[in-house]
């Protein structure tokens, strides 16, 4: 890795591929403003060469939130909640940047900053925000259990290990194909491409719709009966699921544990960027070509209606609003990403290169420059994951909703693969499984790296380990090895990936108002003189906080009071 720039050197003079020193999340007291500070880049091209934290966060976002939760929302609600998904991607960036601003100007990590927010606290053991973060972390690590399960499902479908796994694939694939073909036939019967026919999910078919879907339902029941006769059923009477996904999940978890123990910032940024970029482009390409399939194309009237705020009705066994609220908590920069983003900014070097605040005009100029870089980083990554999010939602609404398919449990990945069937035909499974592995593994990889950093920091904030950076770095390595295995254990205990992801969405949705309040606290109580944002920014920050508050309250009401 290239050496750090010399004191006072402008980063415009550095090579394009220059990476800042590793482990930059330093305590301000240990920084030497003379030896650590670096003048920020002044041209857009050089600024773009210094981005990175947002790309890592995007690698975590485009996976559980976009591929699973967003698509599931589209499958349940159709186009009606597109406005909420778009709002969820954009509105939280203002709070994200406020967290990043305080990290750059103070050199403090997120949990150290949150510990300064007024409110109840345990003396020397952190305040209320830190302890709620611990509760949210429990849900987030459960989410990663769902993610590693999704990776295992993708690999089990493409490369089954056992004979039972092969037969399960054949049966489930046949059922999905029959539902796909039945829909296309039904569109023709009901008036062609402009028909809005929808095949209801098996679990929500009522008496009036039974005749229209009788053949599909009877055929699916017959195929599963054949499989059950040979392989048995579980305690709930559902088909016995082969162990292929669990075996693959174990292999992935162990390999990830080894890589994270030895991997550093550069590896995490490069891998997450490649994986996310590849599948995002593939998904947008698939959506574009889908417009050539009349029965699955997204009509302008549907797209426009989705941008108009409205709420879908609850149907038998399905609550689109509940799914959407959980999705809002994790799409874009969810609560977990809001917390972790400053860690990557510090590790990239933004805070270190700014130097210690000595009150000088030179320091304010450096800080303003590196905050401009951070702005480009945050908004640039927002564009990337917003494109991916909208594409996933539209695919879920245009294909899965119309087919009456809902991605969940052991067939989550197989159901999601149907979104690629209209364009890629018999190649759909192969194309999607590559993409699913890319984004799901990217999320699993990046999120575990992030959890290792935040949790080790939490240990010192609550006084369980020493506060020095050497101790924290040692715990980062330990937890990098432990957390992927913990995720595997969670998946093996609760093999319902979509539900585990949505559980995290609920926990993060509840924390969003807390983080909104913290962002406002940093803006008005921790802002540095000379770096005060303008009125337009303050207005958008308040709107962001209001949206996060509404989401949190709505989540509590929907999940706990209804």
Residues 94, 79: Cα–Cα separation, whole Å = 26
88 and 187, same domain (yes or no): no
Q: Which carries the bigger pLDDT value, residue 489 or residue 321?
A: 489
Kindly report whether the global pTM for this prediction surpasses the value 0.75. Answer: yes
Residue at 14 is within a domain: no
Domain of 282 in residue numbering reads as 40-162+246-561
90 and 118, same domain (yes or no): yes
pLDDT digits (tens, 9 = 90+) for 197-229: 554 443 443 343 334 445 555 555 666 676 666
pLDDT digits (tens, 9 = 90+) for 535-545: 999 999 999 99
Query: Of 195, 214, 242, which one is at a domain's C-terminal end?
Result: 242
Q: What is the CATH number of the domain that holds 252?
A: 1.10.4160.10
Q: In the prediction, which pLDDT does 237 show?
A: 59
Overall number of domains in the chain: 2
Which of these, 552, 171, 79, lies nearest to 326 by C-alpha position? Answer: 552
157 and 171, same domain (yes or no): no
How much is the average pLDDT of 133-144? 88
190 and 265, same domain (yes or no): no
295 and 224, same domain (yes or no): no
Residue at 107 is within a domain: yes
How much is the average pLDDT of 494-499? 71
pLDDT digits (tens, 9 = 90+) for 457-486: 999 999 999 989 899 999 999 999 999 999
Other Cβ atoms within 10 Å of 8 Cβ, number: 11
Query: Of 195, 226, 242, which one is at a domain's C-terminal end?
Result: 242
212 and 282, same domain (yes or no): no
Other Cβ atoms within 10 Å of 233 Cβ, number: 13
299 and 405, same domain (yes or no): yes
What does pLDDT average to over the chain?
A: 79
Residue at 18 is within a domain: no
Residue at 282 is within a domain: yes
188 and 83, same domain (yes or no): no
56 and 153, same domain (yes or no): yes
Residue at 34 is within a domain: no
Query: Of 196, 227, 242, which one is at a domain's C-terminal end?
Result: 242
From residue 263, alpha-carbon distances to 51, 114, 250, 470 in Å are 19, 28, 20, 17
Residue at 1 is within a domain: no
pLDDT digits (tens, 9 = 90+) for 423-432: 887 777 777 7
406 and 262, same domain (yes or no): yes
The answer to whether the beta carbons of residues 73 and 327 sit under 8 Å apart is yes
* Range from 181-195, 263-277, 402-416 carrying the lowest mean pLDDT: 181-195
424 and 544, same domain (yes or no): yes
Residue at 33 is within a domain: no
Residues 425, 308: Cα–Cα separation, whole Å = 33
Which of these, 460, 456, 444, 382, lies nearest to 140 by C-alpha position? Answer: 444
Residues 375, 371: Cα–Cα separation, whole Å = 6
151 and 167, same domain (yes or no): no
From residue 426, alpha-carbon distances to 168, 182, 421, 423 in Å are 18, 17, 7, 9
Residues 77, 554: Cα–Cα separation, whole Å = 17
Residue at 308 is within a domain: yes
């Amino acid at each position: 890795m290239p050496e750090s720039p010399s004191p006072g050197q402008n980063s415009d003079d550095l090579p394009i591929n220059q990476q800042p020193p590793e482990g930059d999340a330093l305590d301000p007291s240990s920084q030497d403003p003379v030896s650590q500070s670096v003048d920020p880049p002044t041209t857009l091209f050089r600024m773009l060469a210094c981005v990175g934290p947002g790309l890592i966060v995007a690698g975590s976002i485009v996976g559980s939130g976009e591929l699973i939760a967003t698509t599931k929302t589209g499958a349940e609600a159709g186009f009606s909640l597109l406005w909420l998904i778009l709002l969820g991607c954009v509105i939280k960036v203002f709070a994200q940047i406020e967290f990043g601003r305080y990290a750059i100007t103070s050199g403090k990590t997120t949990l150290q900053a949150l510990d300064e927010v007024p409110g109840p606290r345990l003396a020397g053991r952190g305040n209320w925000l830190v302890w709620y973060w611990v509760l949210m972390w429990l849900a987030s690590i459960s989410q990663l259990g769902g993610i590693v399960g999704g990776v295992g499902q993708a690999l089990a479908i493409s490369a089954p290990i056992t004979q039972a796994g092969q037969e399960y694939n054949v049966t489930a694939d046949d059922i999905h194909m029959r539902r796909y073909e039945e829909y296309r036939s039904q569109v023709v019967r009901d008036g062609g491409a402009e028909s809005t026919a929808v095949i209801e999910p098996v679990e929500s078919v009522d008496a009036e719709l039974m005749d229209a879907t009788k053949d599909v339902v009877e055929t699916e029941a017959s195929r599963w009966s054949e499989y059950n006769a040979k392989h048995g059923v579980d305690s709930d009477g559902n088909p016995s699921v082969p162990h292929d996904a669990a075996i693959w999940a174990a292999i992935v978890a162990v390999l990830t544990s080894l890589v994270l123990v030895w991997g550093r910032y550069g590896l995490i940024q490069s891998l997450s960027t490649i994986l996310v970029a590849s599948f995002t482009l593939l998904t947008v390409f698939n959506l574009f070509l889908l417009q050539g399939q009349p029965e699955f194309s997204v009509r302008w009237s549907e797209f426009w209606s989705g941008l108009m705020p409205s709420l879908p009705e609850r149907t038998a066994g399905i609550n689109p609003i509940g799914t959407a609220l959980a999705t809002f908590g994790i799409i874009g920069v969810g609560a977990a990403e809001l917390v972790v983003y400053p860690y990557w900014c510090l590790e990239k070097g933004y805070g270190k290169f700014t130097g210690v605040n000595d009150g000088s005009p030179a320091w304010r100029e450096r800080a303003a420059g590196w905050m401009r870089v951070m702005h480009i980083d945050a908004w640039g990554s927002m564009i990337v994951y917003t494109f991916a999010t909208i594409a996933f939602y539209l695919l879920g609404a245009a294909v899965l909703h119309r087919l009456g398919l809902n991605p969940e449990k052991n067939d989550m990945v197989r159901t999601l693969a149907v979104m690629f069937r209209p364009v890629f035909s018999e190649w759909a499974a192969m194309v999607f499984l590559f993409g699913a592995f890319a984004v799901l593994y990217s999320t699993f990889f990046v999120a575990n790296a992030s959890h290792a950093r935040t949790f080790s920091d939490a240990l010192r904030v609550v006084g369980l380990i020493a506060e020095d950076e050497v101790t924290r770095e040692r715990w980062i390595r330990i937890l990098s090895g432990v957390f992927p295995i913990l995720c595997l254990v969670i998946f093996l205990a609760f093999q319902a990936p979509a539900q585990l992801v949505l559980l995290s969405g609920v926990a993060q949705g509840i924390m969003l108002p807390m983080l909104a309040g913290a962002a406002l606290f940093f803006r008005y109580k921790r802002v540095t003189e000379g770096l005060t944002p303008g009125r337009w920014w303050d207005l958008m920050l308040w709107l962001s906080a209001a949206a996060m508050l509404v989401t949190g309250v709505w989540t509590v009401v929907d999940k706990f009071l209804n």
